[in-house]
A = this chain, B = another copy of it.
């Protein structure tokens, strides 16, 4: 089994109520692949400049993430995002976006990556997502993320790309925006009617929910008292989710598998936000993941007490 992810590998400059960080390692494919690496073999597809050095590479290598398809462009700089969060941490204000090497990115997958059993198309230009998707015709499970910017500016190609994937992970505002439907249950149904059999809807501090043919599943967020940096929470969520799914080796995951995957996603997101950038995920242990998964189960379980006579 192996999991390929295509998306941004970047530097982020971050400002949250807990401090500032300049040019820390970030990007959707970075957060995704580090989270997924706890569950399966991961291959990252992306592009960086020569500001991406041994220190950054070592972060991937320490987690066993394969970087053969991480293209390096000499004389160019990596994607760079600068953002600031308000006190309640739910809204990110983009201060600056420098596409740099990403502007001309045209991924060509190695045979090993193209034969991955699971593929995740992180948030990039939908046309690029589609080109990568078609390079992996044999992938059993294909997931996709996107954002409001592409929904507005590349709607048609995004919908075409969505029609060729199995699982879409968007946040609730994006699902509503894509479908022009304010009611989330209707919006998710319409999203699934475009092709994907699973709509996995991220809801930020409220957790996530999943719509499948078998029904509706609600996943809480972990009630952290301290959120240091929400950047990468959604990508870590997807990484945990698809990493777990790939590890099962089932080309047609059951409802139980999808539900457990969504909970592992929420587990990985809950760790990601406990420190800046990828710092918490870098020092995470498998025992911590199991323990928090068990905590999620306790947060969701109830049994009616026996009534007094």
User: Are B256 and A225 closer than 8 Å at their CB atoms?
Assistant: no
Nearest CB to that of A227 among chain B residues? B183
Tell me how many chains of this kind the complex includes: 2
Any B CB within 8 A of the CB of A137: no
Shortest C-beta distance, A297 to chain B (Å), equals 8
Chain A interface residue count: which class?
35 or more
Contact of A225 among B183, B206, B217, B253 (CB under 8 A): B183
Contact of A302 among B182, B203, B217, B221 (CB under 8 A): B217
Contact of A256 among B88, B216, B304 (CB under 8 A): B304
A: which residues have CB within 8 A of B? 87-89, 176, 182-186, 188-189, 203, 205-207, 209, 211, 215-218, 220-221, 223-227, 247-250, 253-254, 256-257, 259-260, 263, 297-305, 307-308
User: Are A248 and B217 closer than 8 Å at their CB atoms?
Assistant: no
User: Are B215 and A299 closer than 8 Å at their CB atoms?
Assistant: yes
User: Are B215 and A218 closer than 8 Å at their CB atoms?
Assistant: no
Shortest C-beta distance, A177 to chain B (Å), equals 12
Shortest C-beta distance, A95 to chain B (Å), equals 21
12 A-B pairs (CB sep. < 8 Å): A88-B176, A89-B182, A183-B226, A184-B223, A185-B225, A207-B218, A215-B298, A217-B300, A218-B300, A253-B305, A254-B305, A259-B302
Query: A207-B218, A299-B216 are contacts. A304–B223 as well, Cβ < 8 Å?
Result: no
Contact of A250 among B220, B301, B308 (CB under 8 A): B308
Shortest C-beta distance, A253 to chain B (Å), equals 8
Q: Which residues of B sit under 8 angstroms from A308, Cβ to Cβ?
A: 248-250
Shortest C-beta distance, A224 to chain B (Å), equals 6
CA distance A182 to B259 in the complex (A): 30
- Which of A188, A247, A304 has the most CB atoms of chain B within a 10 A radius of its CB? A304
Shortest Cβ-Cβ A-B pairs, 10 listed: A218-B220, A259-B302, A206-B206, A185-B223, A88-B182, A249-B308, A260-B304, A185-B225, A256-B305, A87-B182
